[in-house]
A and B are shown apart, each in its own frame.
Chain A
Amino acid sequence: MKKFILKSLSFASFFILFFVLINAIFFLIIAVTDWDWKKRFESLRFDNPDFELLVLGSSLAQYDFDTEFLTSEGIKSYNFALVGNTVRASYIQLQEYLTRYSQKPDYVIFACNSYLEILDGDKIQDVVKYTMKGNRYGIGDFPLLKFTNWFGGEVLKKILSKKHRQTIVSYGQVKREKSTPDFSSYEENYLDISVFQSSHWISEIVKLCNQEGIEIIIVEVPAITKAQNLSEIGPYTIGFENGYTAKLINLNSQDFCSFIDPAKDWVGDSHFNPGGALKFTKELLGVLREEVIVQVNDTLATSLE
């Protein structure tokens, strides 16, 4: 039995060494190859950024907002959205940006889809949490334990799929040349504004922007046909419990989404491919000019023109 115990202890030591080593290798791989990690490190190390417009949100925003196009149109923009981002993590990202850098943006777009996403809750997206100041690390924070199901899958997809490998990040926007047809049909959905109003962290983003003198626009982004709604584009003025208000534009309205080609514009699961994203961003710019900004803020309207 003594021999067995010694052998067990030797194996335990081997396993600990093995575990630490492959965690280090895995972390290196995802830090170098994953778009979210690269974006996150980039956003924490900007050299005196002078962005006028920041986009916050989840992967829907990450794929949908062509910030390169917006920049070429004269609005210097960066897409901060991350895969699986939570509203609280978006708030943390904005707060970090405003604390770190002296030049504040003029506008912040918080993009989401209330039909597909959960807008309440206190969870912080894992990449943001892992890299934010003051985070406490525990046993469960070994990269393999924390990120394999998510980023491991992504690494695997990059190994197997050429289109995945060829995906690029430009001004924070993820661009992947792939089309997944949308076969779904219209359903009778309506925009529920109370979902936004009851979101604590959206109200905190609005509050922060108001306090810093930044114009905040909440955008309900398009989804596939089945998830689009019959409500008006807006803009709607939303009041929050903390006393602040913000404008919401419903770009998931069936009226607005008529520009979408369901056979070509989606990369999958309500995320645009680069072609779809460019079309969307152009349409968005039109709405901002015609519907919102003129009514909301004359200065922005001028700058957009």
Chain B
Amino acid sequence: MSIISIEFGVFVAVSIIIFYLINHKYRIAFLAIISCGFIASFSYLLLPYILIYSLVNYYIGLKLPDSKNKIALFRTGLIINLTQLVLLRYSSFAIDPIFQVFNSNFEVSRISEIIIPIGISYFTLQGIGYLVNVKMGWEKPEKKIFNFLLYIVYYPKFLSGPIERSNHFLPQLKLNQQFNGKQVTAGLRIVLIGLFKKIVIANQIAQYVNIAYTDINSTDGLSLWILLLLQPLYLYFDFSGYTDMAIGVSKVFGIDLLPNFNRPFFSQNMTNFWKRFHISLSAWFNDYIFRQAAFRYRRWGVYASVYALLLTWVLFGIWHGAGWNFMMLGFIQAVAIIYEFFTKKWRVRIFSKIPDFIRIWFSRLVTYLFYAGSLVFFFAPDINSAFTFFSKLNNIKGPEMFTPVSVQPYTVIIFIAVFMVLELIKVDYNNLFNKLMYLWSGDRLINKYFRWSIYSVIITILFIVGNEAEQFIYVNF
């Protein structure tokens, strides 16, 4: 079931209606069951797998606080989590080549073709996070099986996060959720914004990004430059659009999910960028990898941080997929953050002599460009393709006929600009933002019609793009 489909819309609508019609005692069980149905719609075998996975983590979590062999039990849980992740997600990269060395045709990666481990990177981090929290005593183990199951399988966040923390998610399930019109409206508003980001912006850019990365060799240098600059926006609108939908749907059910984005392109350095981009993932790695590693090797002094940073970011890269390109993606983030760490004092000294406006925008631009460049390793199918991409950037010729970029939908640029200006106002112009918020959220009739008009414009644009007719290639000049 695709998230951007009528079926999913109906599924969400029906699940919301039933959720509020049934007795609140059964609501968590209901959400857990329909989430299982949602997972089964992708793969029937994935469902029993997830149920077993949840049961194992539930049981280990339950036994951890009182166990005599606490560390051994925790390590067992950790090994189970990591092993299933490696087997189902990284075997083609980490295990199959070993068999090939011994001239064996055995391929462990075939298991993933049978089970289709959708969402595994997300639910595994949630499972590990839960065990760490319980082992460290940061939270008590969850006793209700349906609550824990819902923590793992909750359908709004199952496919692509946000990566929830058990100590944030589980306590909310204990509240008696009553229907709250304002909350439902707020949730639907976030869904609407998410749909707009995904359908009207990200999907329109996607085709050009995909075409270029499918055949880098035949894409000209100018197009690659444009794609290089566009791809952070594409990823942002695609992923934050999905996240908004997840957060919005969840809010309708009365469950707040963790935020994942906070106007990342207004960051002035990479350290700050990763506190604002894919927040739930970078915060997870910060809390469960970086801090643990830095603490463990604290005797090394500053080098403990360097080591912890390298470890964290390489694992962060690998989390995205099995390949050297993803490892490189993580490695260069680490290099940037280590550079920022060691040069902070002299950078502050030098930049303090430059006017604020120039300093801020120069820093934002450099941060954006660095991230744009590093994303080549994210989108490229392998590391060689990534280097081909960079080498072709030198090869700029004049405009050619019907290149993907020559037929790009220019309206997307306008929508991106509108979003970016709104984000800029929020970040840099607080007074103006407050005035806009007053106009937006006032109780007078004019405020209401203003809101409704904006919603209507968004829905209309969604209809237009969703209904998209053929784009005439000749009309693009």
Interface code B163-183, partner A: CB below 8 Å = 1, 0 otherwise?
000000000000000010100
Instruction: Please report which residues of chain B, range 417-476, place their CB below 8 angstroms from some CB of chain A when the two chains form the complex.
Output: 449, 452-453, 455-456, 459-460, 463-465, 467-476
Q: Are A126 and B469 in contact (CB under 8 A)?
A: yes
Given contacts A1-B181, A4-B181, A269-B406, contact A22 B475 (CB under 8 A): no
Return the contact of A269 from the options B184, B463, B471, B477 (Cβ within 8 A). B477
Interface centre among B409, B414, B449, B456, by most chain A C-beta atoms within 10 angstroms, is: B456
- Residues of B within 8 A of A (CB-CB), count: 37
Return the contact of B401 from the options A14, A58, A60, A270 (Cβ within 8 A). A270
Q: Which residue of A lies closest to B449 (CB)?
A: A14
Q: Are B410 and A269 in contact (CB under 8 A)?
A: no
Chain B min CB distance to A129 (Å): 11
Q: Are A149 and B468 in contact (CB under 8 A)?
A: yes
Stretch touching chain A among B70-78, B267-275, B392-400: B392-400
Q: Which residue of B lies closest to A269 (CB)?
A: B477
Could you tell me the distance between the alpha carbons of A22 and B477 in the complex, rounded to whole angstroms?
26
Return the contact of B410 from the options A116, A146, A153 (Cβ within 8 A). A153
Return the contact of B20 from the options A1, A150, A153 (Cβ within 8 A). A1
Could you tell me the distance between the alpha carbons of A28 and B399 in the complex, rounded to whole angstroms?
35
Q: Which residue of A lies closest to B410 (CB)?
A: A153
Q: Are A156 and B410 in contact (CB under 8 A)?
A: yes
Stretch touching chain B among A97-105, A178-186, A209-217, A239-247: A178-186
Task: Please indicate the chain A residues that have their CB under 8 angstroms from the CB of B401 in the complex.
Answer: 184, 223-224, 226-227, 269-270
Q: Are A184 and B181 in contact (CB under 8 A)?
A: no
Chain A min CB distance to B436 (Å): 21
Task: Please indicate the chain A residues that have their CB under 8 angstroms from the CB of B452 in the complex.
Answer: 11, 14-15, 18
Q: Are A145 and B397 in contact (CB under 8 A)?
A: no
A3 adjacent to chain B (CB < 8 Å)? yes
Task: Please indicate the chain A residues that have their CB under 8 angstroms from the CB of B468 in the complex.
Answer: 149
Q: Which residue of B lies closest to A145 (CB)?
A: B467
Task: Please indicate the chain A residues that have their CB under 8 angstroms from the CB of B362 in the complex.
Answer: none
Q: Are B460 and A60 in contact (CB under 8 A)?
A: no
Could you tell me the distance between the alpha carbons of A147 and B400 in the complex, rounded to whole angstroms?
27
Q: Are A83 and B475 in contact (CB under 8 A)?
A: yes
Task: Please indicate the chain B residues that have their CB under 8 angstroms from the CB of A58 in the complex.
Answer: 474
Interface code A1-25, partner B: CB below 8 Å = 1, 0 otherwise?
1011001000100110011001000
Q: Which residue of A lies closest to B178 (CB)?
A: A1
Q: Are B477 and A268 in contact (CB under 8 A)?
A: yes
Residues on B close to A: CB < 8 A? 20, 179, 181, 184-185, 397-402, 406, 409-411, 414, 449, 452-453, 455-456, 459-460, 463-465, 467-477
Known: A11-B455, A19-B460, A156-B411. 12 other contacts (CB 8 A): A3-B181, A18-B453, A83-B474, A84-B470, A84-B472, A144-B460, A153-B476, A183-B397, A184-B400, A269-B406, A269-B477, A271-B477
For the complex of A and B, the 6 pairs showing the least CB-CB separation, nearest first, are: A268-B477, A183-B398, A84-B472, A4-B181, A59-B474, A18-B456
Residues on A close to B: CB < 8 A? 1, 3-4, 7, 11, 14-15, 18-19, 22, 58-60, 83-84, 116, 126, 140, 144-150, 152-154, 156, 180-181, 183-184, 223-224, 226-227, 267-271
Can you spell out 11 A-B residue pairs with CB atoms less than 8 angstroms apart? Answer: A18-B456, A19-B460, A83-B472, A126-B469, A149-B465, A153-B475, A223-B401, A268-B476, A269-B402, A269-B473, A271-B477
